[in-house]
Each structure stands twice: as C-alpha cells, then as structure tokens.
Amino acid sequence: MSRTPELRELNRRVTAAIFRAEHLPPGLEAEFAFSDVSRIEEEIARLTAADSLEGSAARQGAITSALSAGDWLRALSLAEAYLAEPAPSVLAPDLVLLRDEASSELSKAEIPNVVQMPFELLVA
C-alpha cells in the first residue's frame, strides 16, 4: 500500500504516542496520553478507508483510546459516527461492542450536581 507522507507521519506519531501511553502508570497523565492517541487515531481514520486494515484499526483505536482515557462521551460519539459509515461487516460487531461499553460507562459516570445560582448583571 502506498501511503501519503501525511499518513506515514501520523503512523509514526501514533506508534510513539501508544508506546508512551502504555508505559505510564494508570492515572491522569496516562489518561492525557491516551487522549492524544485517540486524536491521532481519529486523524488516521479520516484518511483511510473503513474496509482497510489500517482504517479499521484506526477506527477501533480512536474509540479504545478514548475509553482508556476515561472519555466515555467521546468514545460513544466516535463509535456512533463510525457505525454510520458504510463499514465492512467484520468491523461492525466490534464497533457495536465498543459503543455499548462506552454507553454503559457513561451511564455509570457521576453526573455533576449543578445548581442554578441567581445572579444580577450590573453596569459598571
């Protein structure tokens, strides 16, 4: 397969980013690192077809990295977007599993208790 210089550079970047993220202890720093992986995977997914090995891996990677980053909402929205593509039948079951996992994690997440505060705008 011939790759554009852009795709080759993204492959280098995602390889380095995964290596970095997987070598960090669990915690906030690792979550940030996986967010970085997810963003690069999303860029790769934009440049590759869903029915190619590289394209399907990027789509799965964008979602799984978002899950590793604890970003359930991003994982869910990516899964739904990729399921809406004309994806090959072999990829769809994995995407459905990932979407369900993201959805389940999101439903368990604590919703911040937001209380509306009264306020008044004053002209200086």
User: Which positions lie near other proteins, rule CB under 8 A?
Assistant: 1-2, 8, 11-12, 14-16, 18-23, 34, 37, 41, 52-54, 56-57, 60-61, 64-65, 67-68, 88, 90-91, 94, 97-98
Shortest distance, position 76 Cβ to other proteins, whole Å: 15
45, with CB counted inside 10 A (0-12, 13-18, 19+), is buried
Token representation of residue 18? 């995964």
25, with CB counted inside 10 A (0-12, 13-18, 19+), is exposed
| Cβ-proximal residues to 80 (8 Å cutoff; 6+ apart), any chain | 99
Shortest distance, position 36 Cβ to other proteins, whole Å: 11
Smaller CB separation from other proteins, 22 or 80: 22
Shortest distance, position 124 Cβ to other proteins, whole Å: 52
Smaller CB separation from other proteins, 19 or 80: 19
Residue 105 near residue 73 (C-beta atoms within 8 A): no
Q: In degrees, to the nearest 5, what angle opens at C-alpha 97 toward C-alphas 96 and 102?
A: 95
Smaller CB separation from other proteins, 4 or 116: 4
Smaller CB separation from other proteins, 57 or 81: 57
